[in-house]
Protein backbone atom coordinates (compact mmCIF):
# COMPACT_ATOMS: atom_id res chain seq x y z
CA UNK A 1 0.00 0.00 0.00
CA UNK A 2 2.79 2.33 1.03
CA UNK A 3 4.67 1.58 -2.19
CA UNK A 4 1.59 2.41 -4.28
CA UNK A 5 1.27 5.76 -2.49
CA UNK A 6 4.91 6.46 -3.06
CA UNK A 7 4.63 5.63 -6.75
CA UNK A 8 1.54 7.80 -7.02
CA UNK A 9 3.38 10.72 -5.44
CA UNK A 10 6.28 10.29 -7.87
CA UNK A 11 3.80 10.24 -10.76
CA UNK A 12 2.06 13.41 -9.55
CA UNK A 13 5.40 15.18 -9.06
CA UNK A 14 6.54 14.10 -12.53
CA UNK A 15 3.30 15.39 -14.09
CA UNK A 16 3.59 18.67 -12.20
CA UNK A 17 7.18 19.20 -13.21
CA UNK A 18 6.29 18.46 -16.88
CA UNK A 19 3.35 20.87 -16.76
CA UNK A 20 5.54 23.52 -15.16
CA UNK A 21 8.36 23.22 -17.73
CA UNK A 22 8.30 26.60 -19.44
CA UNK A 23 8.05 26.62 -23.24
CA UNK A 24 11.54 27.86 -24.22
CA UNK A 25 10.05 29.62 -27.25
CA UNK A 26 7.23 31.41 -25.39
CA UNK A 27 9.00 34.76 -25.33
CA UNK A 28 10.16 34.69 -28.97
CA UNK A 29 6.70 33.51 -30.06
CA UNK A 30 5.18 36.51 -28.27
CA UNK A 31 7.62 38.88 -30.02
CA UNK A 32 6.85 37.16 -33.33
CA UNK A 33 3.12 37.76 -32.83
CA UNK A 34 3.75 41.44 -32.09
CA UNK A 35 5.74 41.84 -35.30
CA UNK A 36 3.06 40.07 -37.36
CA UNK A 37 0.46 42.40 -35.85
CA UNK A 38 2.59 45.42 -36.80
CA UNK A 39 2.91 44.11 -40.37
CA UNK A 40 -0.85 43.52 -40.50
CA UNK A 41 -1.38 47.11 -39.43
CA UNK A 42 0.56 48.23 -42.55
CA UNK A 43 -1.84 46.29 -44.74
CA UNK A 44 -4.89 47.69 -42.95
CA UNK A 45 -3.75 51.26 -43.51
CA UNK A 46 -5.31 53.22 -46.34
CA UNK A 47 -2.43 54.72 -48.37
CA UNK A 48 -2.36 58.49 -48.20
CA UNK A 49 -1.91 60.32 -51.49
CA UNK A 50 -0.39 63.76 -51.88
CA UNK A 51 1.98 63.55 -48.91
CA UNK A 52 5.02 65.81 -48.89
CA UNK A 53 7.51 64.78 -51.55
CA UNK A 54 4.96 62.71 -53.47
CA UNK A 55 5.22 63.78 -57.10
CA UNK A 56 2.75 61.25 -58.50
CA UNK A 57 -0.69 62.13 -59.79
CA UNK A 58 -2.49 59.78 -57.41
CA UNK A 59 -5.57 61.64 -56.12
CA UNK A 60 -6.64 61.55 -52.50
CA UNK A 61 -9.83 59.78 -53.52
CA UNK A 62 -9.46 56.27 -52.09
CA UNK A 63 -11.59 53.58 -53.71
CA UNK A 64 -11.24 50.18 -52.10
CA UNK A 65 -11.96 47.03 -54.04
CA UNK A 66 -12.78 43.59 -52.73
CA UNK A 67 -11.22 41.88 -55.75
CA UNK A 68 -7.93 40.85 -54.19
CA UNK A 69 -6.10 38.21 -52.22
CA UNK A 70 -2.69 37.95 -50.57
CA UNK A 71 0.32 37.63 -52.91
CA UNK A 72 1.71 34.14 -53.11
CA UNK A 73 5.24 32.74 -53.19
CA UNK A 74 6.34 31.53 -56.61
CA UNK A 75 9.79 30.06 -55.86
CA UNK A 76 11.24 27.63 -53.34
CA UNK A 77 14.87 28.15 -52.36
CA UNK A 78 16.68 25.30 -50.66
CA UNK A 79 19.62 25.78 -48.29
CA UNK A 80 21.87 23.82 -46.00
CA UNK A 81 22.26 25.41 -42.59
CA UNK A 82 26.05 24.92 -42.28
CA UNK A 83 25.34 24.43 -38.57
CA UNK A 84 25.57 21.43 -36.31
CA UNK A 85 22.03 20.89 -35.06
CA UNK A 86 18.40 21.88 -35.42
CA UNK A 87 18.55 23.63 -32.03
CA UNK A 88 21.54 25.71 -33.12
CA UNK A 89 19.74 26.76 -36.32
CA UNK A 90 16.57 27.69 -34.42
CA UNK A 91 18.69 29.78 -32.06
CA UNK A 92 20.38 31.56 -34.98
CA UNK A 93 17.02 32.27 -36.61
CA UNK A 94 15.50 33.70 -33.43
CA UNK A 95 18.36 36.04 -32.48
CA UNK A 96 17.41 39.52 -33.78
CA UNK A 97 21.04 40.48 -34.47
CA UNK A 98 21.57 37.69 -37.03
CA UNK A 99 18.88 39.11 -39.36
CA UNK A 100 18.42 35.68 -40.95
CA UNK A 101 15.51 33.24 -40.95
CA UNK A 102 13.64 30.77 -43.10
CA UNK A 103 10.10 29.52 -43.36
CA UNK A 104 11.03 25.90 -42.60
CA UNK A 105 13.92 23.98 -41.07
CA UNK A 106 14.17 20.25 -41.83
CA UNK A 107 16.13 18.21 -39.29
CA UNK A 108 18.18 15.10 -40.01
CA UNK A 109 15.48 12.82 -38.55
CA UNK A 110 12.92 14.34 -40.91
CA UNK A 111 11.16 16.59 -38.39
CA UNK A 112 10.13 19.88 -39.97
CA UNK A 113 9.90 23.05 -37.88
CA UNK A 114 7.96 25.94 -39.42
CA UNK A 115 9.12 29.38 -38.29
CA UNK A 116 7.10 31.75 -40.47
CA UNK A 117 3.77 31.85 -42.23
CA UNK A 118 4.34 31.15 -45.97
CA UNK A 119 2.92 34.58 -46.83
CA UNK A 120 5.53 36.46 -44.81
CA UNK A 121 8.87 37.57 -46.25
CA UNK A 122 11.63 35.54 -44.66
CA UNK A 123 15.24 36.74 -44.69
CA UNK A 124 16.93 33.71 -46.22
CA UNK A 125 17.96 34.67 -49.75
CA UNK A 126 19.89 37.90 -49.15
CA UNK A 127 21.42 39.64 -52.16
CA UNK A 128 20.76 37.52 -55.21
CA UNK A 129 19.32 37.31 -58.69
CA UNK A 130 17.54 34.68 -60.74
CA UNK A 131 16.55 35.70 -64.24
CA UNK A 132 15.18 39.21 -63.77
CA UNK A 133 14.04 38.63 -60.19
CA UNK A 134 16.27 40.61 -57.83
CA UNK A 135 14.20 40.23 -54.65
CA UNK A 136 13.98 36.50 -54.08
CA UNK A 137 13.04 37.01 -50.41
CA UNK A 138 9.78 38.58 -51.62
CA UNK A 139 8.96 35.86 -54.12
CA UNK A 140 10.10 32.69 -52.39
CA UNK A 141 9.72 30.20 -49.55
CA UNK A 142 13.02 29.41 -47.81
CA UNK A 143 13.74 25.87 -46.64
CA UNK A 144 16.84 25.15 -44.57
CA UNK A 145 18.15 21.60 -44.22
CA UNK A 146 20.10 20.82 -41.07
CA UNK A 147 23.47 19.85 -42.59
CA UNK A 148 27.02 21.03 -41.94
CA UNK A 149 27.78 21.44 -45.64
CA UNK A 150 30.18 18.54 -46.08
CA UNK A 151 28.00 15.55 -45.17
CA UNK A 152 25.33 13.69 -47.16
CA UNK A 153 21.68 14.52 -46.51
CA UNK A 154 19.74 11.80 -44.68
CA UNK A 155 17.02 9.75 -46.36
CA UNK A 156 14.47 10.81 -43.72
CA UNK A 157 15.34 14.47 -44.34
CA UNK A 158 14.89 14.20 -48.11
CA UNK A 159 11.64 12.26 -47.77
CA UNK A 160 10.28 14.95 -45.42
CA UNK A 161 11.47 17.67 -47.77
CA UNK A 162 9.67 15.99 -50.69
CA UNK A 163 6.40 15.87 -48.73
CA UNK A 164 6.74 19.57 -47.90
CA UNK A 165 7.55 20.46 -51.52
CA UNK A 166 4.48 18.57 -52.67
CA UNK A 167 2.29 20.68 -50.40
CA UNK A 168 3.93 23.97 -51.39
CA UNK A 169 3.84 23.23 -55.12
CA UNK A 170 0.18 22.33 -54.86
CA UNK A 171 -0.87 25.20 -52.56
CA UNK A 172 0.84 27.96 -54.53
CA UNK A 173 1.04 26.43 -58.01
CA UNK A 174 4.82 26.89 -58.09
CA UNK A 175 6.34 26.13 -61.54
CA UNK A 176 8.59 23.05 -61.70
CA UNK A 177 11.61 25.13 -62.77
CA UNK A 178 11.27 27.40 -59.73
CA UNK A 179 12.68 24.95 -57.16
CA UNK A 180 16.29 26.10 -56.89
CA UNK A 181 19.19 26.42 -54.47
CA UNK A 182 20.74 29.34 -52.64
CA UNK A 183 23.97 28.98 -54.66
CA UNK A 184 21.93 29.26 -57.87
CA UNK A 185 20.65 32.72 -56.96
CA UNK A 186 23.83 33.99 -55.26
CA UNK A 187 26.71 32.22 -57.05
CA UNK A 188 29.44 34.59 -55.87
CA UNK A 189 28.42 34.36 -52.19
CA UNK A 190 26.85 30.97 -51.52
CA UNK A 191 27.53 27.27 -52.07
CA UNK A 192 24.41 25.76 -50.53
CA UNK A 193 22.95 23.24 -50.77
CA UNK A 194 26.21 21.38 -51.36
CA UNK A 195 26.98 18.97 -54.21
CA UNK A 196 25.68 16.19 -51.92
CA UNK A 197 22.15 17.47 -52.46
CA UNK A 198 20.03 15.06 -54.60
CA UNK A 199 18.72 17.53 -57.21
CA UNK A 200 18.18 14.72 -59.71
CA UNK A 201 15.85 12.88 -57.32
CA UNK A 202 13.93 16.10 -56.70
CA UNK A 203 13.60 16.71 -60.45
CA UNK A 204 12.31 13.16 -60.92
CA UNK A 205 9.56 14.02 -58.42
CA UNK A 206 8.70 17.28 -60.20
CA UNK A 207 10.76 19.85 -58.27
CA UNK A 208 13.35 21.52 -60.50
CA UNK A 209 14.52 20.61 -63.99
CA UNK A 210 17.17 18.05 -64.99
CA UNK A 211 18.89 17.06 -68.22
CA UNK A 212 17.81 14.04 -70.28
CA UNK A 213 19.41 11.09 -68.48
CA UNK A 214 18.30 8.72 -71.25
CA UNK A 215 20.80 10.58 -73.46
CA UNK A 216 23.64 9.71 -71.06
CA UNK A 217 25.70 6.55 -71.51
CA UNK A 218 28.79 5.01 -69.95
CA UNK A 219 31.90 4.60 -72.07
CA UNK A 220 35.43 3.30 -71.39
CA UNK A 221 38.25 5.77 -71.97
CA UNK A 222 41.84 4.45 -72.09
CA UNK A 223 44.28 6.20 -69.73
CA UNK A 224 48.03 6.56 -70.36
CA UNK A 225 48.65 3.05 -68.97
CA UNK A 226 46.17 1.52 -71.39
CA UNK A 227 43.63 0.90 -68.59
CA UNK A 228 40.01 1.72 -69.36
CA UNK A 229 38.28 4.15 -67.05
CA UNK A 230 34.51 4.27 -67.32
CA UNK A 231 32.97 7.70 -67.76
CA UNK A 232 29.39 8.88 -68.26
CA UNK A 233 28.86 11.07 -71.30
CA UNK A 234 25.93 12.99 -72.74
CA UNK A 235 25.42 11.72 -76.27
CA UNK A 236 23.72 14.83 -77.62
CA UNK A 237 26.37 16.96 -79.34
CA UNK A 238 26.80 20.71 -78.90
CA UNK A 239 26.32 22.89 -82.00
CA UNK A 240 29.30 25.06 -82.98
CA UNK A 241 27.41 28.31 -82.31
CA UNK A 242 26.55 27.32 -78.72
CA UNK A 243 27.28 30.06 -76.18
CA UNK A 244 27.55 28.61 -72.64
CA UNK A 245 27.46 32.01 -70.91
CA UNK A 246 24.22 32.86 -72.69
CA UNK A 247 22.82 29.41 -71.82
CA UNK A 248 23.56 29.94 -68.12
CA UNK A 249 21.90 33.37 -68.30
CA UNK A 250 18.80 31.88 -69.94
CA UNK A 251 18.56 29.23 -67.21
CA UNK A 252 18.52 32.09 -64.68
CA UNK A 253 22.09 32.47 -63.43
CA UNK A 254 23.61 35.88 -62.78
CA UNK A 255 26.60 35.65 -65.15
CA UNK A 256 28.17 38.98 -64.15
CA UNK A 257 30.70 36.82 -62.26
CA UNK A 258 31.00 34.08 -64.89
CA UNK A 259 33.40 31.84 -62.93
CA UNK A 260 31.03 31.80 -59.95
CA UNK A 261 28.04 31.13 -62.22
CA UNK A 262 29.85 28.09 -63.68
CA UNK A 263 30.64 26.85 -60.17
CA UNK A 264 27.01 27.23 -59.05
CA UNK A 265 25.85 25.37 -62.17
CA UNK A 266 28.32 22.57 -61.40
CA UNK A 267 27.26 22.32 -57.74
CA UNK A 268 23.68 21.82 -58.91
CA UNK A 269 23.92 19.78 -62.12
CA UNK A 270 27.41 18.21 -62.35
CA UNK A 271 28.18 17.73 -58.63
CA UNK A 272 31.92 16.99 -59.10
CA UNK A 273 35.16 18.77 -60.16
CA UNK A 274 33.56 21.94 -58.86
CA UNK A 275 36.59 24.17 -59.27
CA UNK A 276 37.38 23.38 -62.89
CA UNK A 277 35.99 25.02 -66.00
CA UNK A 278 33.19 23.41 -68.05
CA UNK A 279 34.59 20.34 -69.85
CA UNK A 280 33.14 18.89 -73.08
CA UNK A 281 30.61 16.75 -71.23
CA UNK A 282 29.55 19.61 -68.93
CA UNK A 283 28.93 21.72 -72.05
CA UNK A 284 26.77 18.98 -73.52
CA UNK A 285 24.74 18.76 -70.30
CA UNK A 286 24.38 22.55 -70.18
CA UNK A 287 23.24 22.61 -73.80
CA UNK A 288 20.72 19.81 -73.25
CA UNK A 289 19.41 21.55 -70.15
CA UNK A 290 19.12 25.19 -71.21
CA UNK A 291 16.64 24.35 -73.97
CA UNK A 292 14.21 23.22 -71.26
CA UNK A 293 14.28 26.78 -69.89
CA UNK A 294 13.59 28.49 -73.24
ZN1 LIG B 1 21.63 29.51 -47.77
Instruction: Compute, in angstroms, the gap from residue 288 CA to the centroid of ligand 1.
Output: 27
Residue 121 has phi, psi (to 5 degrees) of -90, 105
Instruction: Compute, in angstroms, the gap from residue 194 CA to the centroid of ligand 1.
Output: 10
Instruction: Compute, in angstroms, the gap from residue 125 CA to the centroid of ligand 1.
Output: 7
Instruction: Compute, in angstroms, the gap from residue 192 CA to the centroid of ligand 1.
Output: 5
**pLDDT in the model for residue 60:** 87
What strands lie across the sheet with 179-181, from one edge to the other?
112-114, 104-106, 140-145, 75-80, 179-181
Instruction: Compute, in angstroms, the gap from residue 27 CA to the centroid of ligand 1.
Output: 26
Active-site annotation holder among 144, 159, 232, 246: 144
Kindly state whether residue 90 falls inside one of the protein's structural domains. Answer: yes
Domain count for the chain: 2
User: 152 and 268: one domain?
Assistant: no
Kindly state whether residue 168 falls inside one of the protein's structural domains. Answer: yes
Distance CA 179, CA 168 (A): 11
**pLDDT in the model for residue 1:** 47
User: 100 and 188: one domain?
Assistant: yes
Instruction: Compute, in angstroms, the gap from residue 79 CA to the centroid of ligand 1.
Output: 4
User: 153 and 227: one domain?
Assistant: no
Domain boundary among 150, 182, 204: 204
**pLDDT in the model for residue 238:** 96
**pLDDT in the model for residue 105:** 98
Q: Range of 254's domain?
A: 213-293
**pLDDT in the model for residue 145:** 98
Which residues, chain by chain, have CB under 5 Å from ion ligand 1? 79, 182, 192
Kindly state whether residue 11 falls inside one of the protein's structural domains. Answer: no
**pLDDT in the model for residue 11:** 53
pLDDT per residue as tens digits for the range 225-237 = 888 989 899 999 9
> Which residues of the chain register pLDDT less than 70?
1-20
- In angstroms, the Cα distances linking 204 to 25, 78, 200, 201, 213 are 38, 16, 6, 5, 11
Rg (CA), the chain: 25
Q: Which class for 272: exposed (0-12), middle (13-18), buried (19 or more C-beta within 10 A)? A: exposed
Is residue 144 flagged as an active site residue? yes
User: 106 and 218: one domain?
Assistant: no
**pLDDT in the model for residue 22:** 86
Q: Which class for 165: exposed (0-12), middle (13-18), buried (19 or more C-beta within 10 A)? A: buried
Cβ–Cβ < 8 Å for 172, 72: yes
Length of the chain: 294
Amino acid sequence: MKLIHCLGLILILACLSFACTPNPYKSINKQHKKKVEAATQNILEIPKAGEEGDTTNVTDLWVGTTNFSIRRPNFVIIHHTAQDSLEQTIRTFTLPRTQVSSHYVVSKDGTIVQMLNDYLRSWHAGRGKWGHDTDLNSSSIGIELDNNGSEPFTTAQIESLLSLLKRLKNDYNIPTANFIGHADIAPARKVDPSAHFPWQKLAEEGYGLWYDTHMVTEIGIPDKNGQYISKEIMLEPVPSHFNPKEALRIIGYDVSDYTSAIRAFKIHFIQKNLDSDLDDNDLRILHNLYRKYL
